[in-house]
Amino acid sequence: MKVLLTGSAGFIGSHIADALTAAGHTVRGLDLRPADGSGDGSAAADVRDAGSVARALRGVDAVCHQAAMVGLGVDVFDLPAYVSVNAHGTAVLLAEMARAGVGALVLASSMVVYGEGAYTCERHGSVRPGPRAEATLRAGRFEPGCPRCDRPLTSGTVGEDIAVDPRNVYADTKVAQEHLAASWARMTGGTVAALRYHNVYGPRMPLDTPYAGVAALFRSRLRRGEAPLVYEDGRQRRDFVHVRDVAHANVLALEHVRAEPAERFRAYNIASGTPRTIADLAEALADTHGGPEPRVTGGYRLGDVRHIVASSDRARRELGFTAGISFAEGMAEFAAAGVPA
């Protein structure tokens, strides 16, 4: 099939382009950065520009929408940019897809839509803790308590049907993208697979920006000979999934939505299935570099959540997706990426 890939020059988008091409599909890229010279109409354009999007959609069978402003946001002044790129840009794309008669979409979403993960209280059963108060974090109490009795909680895995609960501007706009896509599907009869990526890492990950992921920030410090700085107590749990596994999930999802599944909108967790702590991540990268050892700071960021671990059973059953790159293998490759031999 011929696929329009927005954000095609980005970290994840560039790997998806490689995976689609390897699977025999034709990729037309659209990104703010200059065209790659592929000869297939790839364009340097803004997804918010309806004319550019309309031209890019001519003759395509499906859209893989990766273009977005990422990260949690630095401060409140980031709000207009996030909403403009992520929400308005998606709305423009969806309107032009309807105009062009393109009815299959894979949307890059994120685990941040969930807020905190799944928790159980021994007294009250399944609960959803609210945002952690700054005074509580400042006092070094990082584990959320039961919202009803404040007892300690047991964390578990989150499935796609749990209610969304965004905690920062990036999460707000990811929820908005999903809602816009679901409305588009209902109005047009199109189909959407929203892939809720967990913590993606791997080659080509951007470095040294306030919006970079934690793996990139740790690696950058190590390359400068500095210790990775681990927030809170380092025991917060995440699922780190390699970018090539994410790219493979996108190929499977595109083929799925083109087959016109019964549900018009369907969300999928894209995760490795093997959760790790932030301290595990820092230690794995430091070991590969030969130090320095990570330093646990007790610091925190408002808007961060404590534990978010996914069940990816739905993606396995319906898309045939299983992550293939282990944490140890992926981290060794990531730590060495871009280092001269």
CB 178 within 8 A of CB 194: yes
Residue with tokens 């570099």: 289
Give 296-324 pLDDT, tens digit per residue.
999 998 878 999 998 999 999 999 999 99
Could you tell me which of 113, 283, 98 has the C-alpha nearest to residue 192? Answer: 98
Residue with tokens 């299983």: 322
* Residue 54, pLDDT score: 98
Question: In the structure, what pLDDT confidence band is assigned to residue 37 with cuts at 50, 70 and 90?
Answer: very low
Rounded Cα distance, 200 and 214, in Å: 10
Pull the structure tokens for residue 283.
Answer: 């230690």
pLDDT at 211 over 80: no
pLDDT at 327 over 90: yes
SS3 assignment, position 62: strand
pLDDT at 39 over 80: no
Give 222-254 pLDDT, tens digit per residue.
999 999 999 999 999 999 999 999 999 999 999
* Residue 262, pLDDT score: 83
Output the average pLDDT for the chain.
92
Cα(first)–Cα(last) distance of the chain, in Å?
Answer: 38
CB 288 within 8 A of CB 228: no
pLDDT at 340 over 50: no
Could you tell me which of 66, 64, 54, 56 has the C-alpha nearest to residue 92? Answer: 54
